[in-house]
Structure 1
Amino acid sequence: MKRLGQSGQKGILLYGEPGTGKTHVVHYIVANLPEHSTILVTAEQMLDMEEHFALARVLQPCIMVIEDVDLVGRSREDISGQKAESRLNRLLNEMDSLGTDADILIILTTNRPKSLEQALATRSGRADAALEIPLPDDDCRERLFKQYGHALNFQGGALAEAVFRSKGGSAAYIKEIVRRLAQRSIIRGVGPLVPREDVEVVLSLAEAERSPFERHEETVRRHIVEQDDEDDCGSC
């Protein structure tokens, strides 16, 4: 690309429900590009965006990962404070200021693609590709149960029941279900056997826990955003 006078910079947006494996994909990419340095930017580090981009330039070739980019890249329509809009502008400016000779791969992740500023999510040169990491389908969930539960012995339709009852669950959710099934088999003294009855019990309890937890997670995230805007108003 450089020999043809084209930019080596690339931006990739990974989006999907929580726990689907976006961070796992990032780890896979990083592991297969060992000659690249990696900079991970998380929520509490987004205030120092300029410093991270400066470091990325020094460490080229470099992979720069910005997790939960919606925390700093929210749509302008949803921004009510000067500080939040200033952080968004700094992020866009830093991405635009990378030269055509920059050897920097920028990976953005988000659980909320619809809340992103379109100038960030759809403009070529910033996010050149938006890739969804979806919730696992029936076949994928079956393979995940076998992968995570490779030391377990699912009995008499237990695996099929687990796949059916876990519809809509993420890879992280399935991993936790397998852990609970293993724990239950140990407590009952039948490990590594997992009967269908244990699957029904474990998944029933997990289903009862999921809804209030998801509501709490959304409330916490909304509080972070609203508090940020309140801080802006207090400084005006």
Structure 2
Amino acid sequence: MTRARQFPGHMRADVQVAVDQLLASPLHFFGIHEEYRYETLAFAALMKEGRNAPALAPAQYHDVEIGEAQPVKCLHNGLWLCRAGELRYAVLLSFHREYQHEAAIRIEIAVPAGAAGDALVQRSFAELEEAVHAARSYRGKILSLEGGSDYRGRSSGIMVHRLPAVGREEVILPEQTLKLLDRNVMGFVGNRAALRKLGQSTRKGILLYGPPGTGKTHTIRYLATNLPGHTTLIITAEQVGLLGAYMKLARLLQPTMVVIEDVDLIARDREEMGSCEEPLLNKLLNEMDGLKEDSDILFVLTTNRPEQLEGALAGRPGRIDQAIEVPLPDGIGRSKLVQLYGKNLPMDQTIIDEAVSRTKGVSAAFIKELMRRIAQASIFRDDGSTVESGDISEALDDMLFTGGRLNITLLGGAQEMAGS
């Protein structure tokens, strides 16, 4: 008799590691070649004869990236002939394909009928399931779902983002905003166990809002690289159609932070939505509503246009628990940004003060670009040995005047600066 289980294709790295451990000492191992790959390879198909029958072949592997120094070598199709004591059995690994659905990893075990065979099957599947639920390849990392191969030819499925750690001192926000962020994210996560004991919900929704370029994405990187033991899932607006798969991952990899950037693109006023957009919004709202109260899942949504958010998302308690404004930097913030992004430039305090005074109303992204252009001007003049007031003027002229109003908007400058 045979019995089979299927595991999500994007978890193939963990399935492969578990299979390698489970079948470390087979009697024989064979690769299997399929001439036609639109059917799922099963033991029944191995009984076929003729020109279209599956054939023994060298094992075919794909390198799957998991964010480590080495990828996981994942088998495409394989057959193991094994023995456990007097019991002989066979294991077949293959891909299950279904139109418009993600391919799954299929494990089929053939054993003699009887209690001994049944026990071996149950034990084997239990080990595989435990490995998949442990998700050691991806737990604690920053992930997004991707398809195809990267430029090195490695399959992704799940893409691991290797982001440098961002320290709290590198998050240039008003102190009251930082304290609000710490209380509602860092403090909340640290107190989850205590909240659970008191019968309180451990799921949460945060909305980061503010003009473009003020540091919302940078703030998310700070959270993602500093939340202890958390896995972060980053969902862009165009990927919301994959929300179901993302939420399965979120539940599997708890505690998780689920980030949806530019949520206003799918959560606009219903009267402005097309027939394709509204189901995406409903799916998001249903997922946020459907989480159990003890789910260790933190939603962080971002928007540049909070006024356009659908009322069902912004106005109902339990979906968004705290909105946090990420504002344009004030004078103190601009001074910190100038020093952060110009930390290797030879600037004295007079130059720093001038850069701060001449950038009122701009975004953090604008100051970052300004410091790069000042560095370029310094390099052209004396190989980066000095920074002069003229370097600031030259950079601001290009950014605010020569390029016109569109350039100001693109760079995150204040429109009123164009007339100053």
Q: TM-score range by the shorter chain?
A: 0.7 to 0.9
Which of the numbers 52, 64, 76 marks the counterpart of 2:246? 52
Deviation at 1:44, TM superposition (A): 2.4
1:118-164 C-alpha deviation (Å, 9 max, x unpaired): 22123211110000010001121112111211222235843232212
Q: Distance in 2 between matches of 1:87 and 1:139?
A: 41
Identify the residue that residue 217 of structure 2 maps to in structure 1: 23
**Structure 2 gap ranges (5+):** 1-194, 412-420
Q: Distance in 1 between matches of 2:404 and 2:289?
A: 41
Q: Which has the higher helix share?
A: 1
Deviation at 1:215, TM superposition (A): 6.0
Identify the residue that residue 227 of structure 1 maps to in structure 2: none
1:165-200 C-alpha deviation (Å, 9 max, x unpaired): 211211111011101101110011152311111111
Q: Distance in 1 between matches of 2:410 and 2:381?
A: 32
Find out whether 1:70 has 2:279 as its counterpart. no
Q: Aligned-pair RMSD on alpha carbons?
A: 1.9
Identify the residue that residue 376 of structure 2 maps to in structure 1: 183
Q: Which has the higher contact order (CA 8 A, sep 6+)?
A: 1
Cα distance change on mapping 1:52 and 1:171 into 2, 3 Å? same
**Structure 1 gap ranges (5+):** 218-236
Identify the residue that residue 207 of structure 1 maps to in structure 2: 400
Q: Which amino acid aligns with 2:217?
A: T
Deviation at 1:78, TM superposition (A): 2.3
Q: Distance in 1 between matches of 2:377 and 2:280?
A: 47
Q: Which amino acid aligns with 1:5?
A: G
Q: Which amino acid aligns with 1:36?
A: H
Which of the numbers 324, 333, 343 marks the counterpart of 1:131? 324
Cα distance change on mapping 1:32 and 1:4 into 2, 3 Å? same
Aligned ranges for residues 1-236 of structure 1 at < 5 Å?
1-79=195-273, 81-154=274-347, 157-189=350-382, 191-208=384-401, 209=403, 211-213=405-407
1:59-91 C-alpha deviation (Å, 9 max, x unpaired): 111110011111111121322x11111111111
Q: Which has the higher strand share?
A: 2
Mean CA deviation greater in 189-198 or 127-136 = 189-198
How many residues are aligned here? 216
Deviation at 1:47, TM superposition (A): 1.4
Q: Secondary structure at the match of 1:53?
A: helix
TM-score by length of 2: 0.49
1:15-47 C-alpha deviation (Å, 9 max, x unpaired): 111111111111111222131111110122111
Q: Distance in 2 between matches of 1:111 and 1:131?
A: 12
Q: Is the 8 A contact 2:230 2:256 kept in 1?
A: yes
Q: Which amino acid aligns with 2:223?
A: I
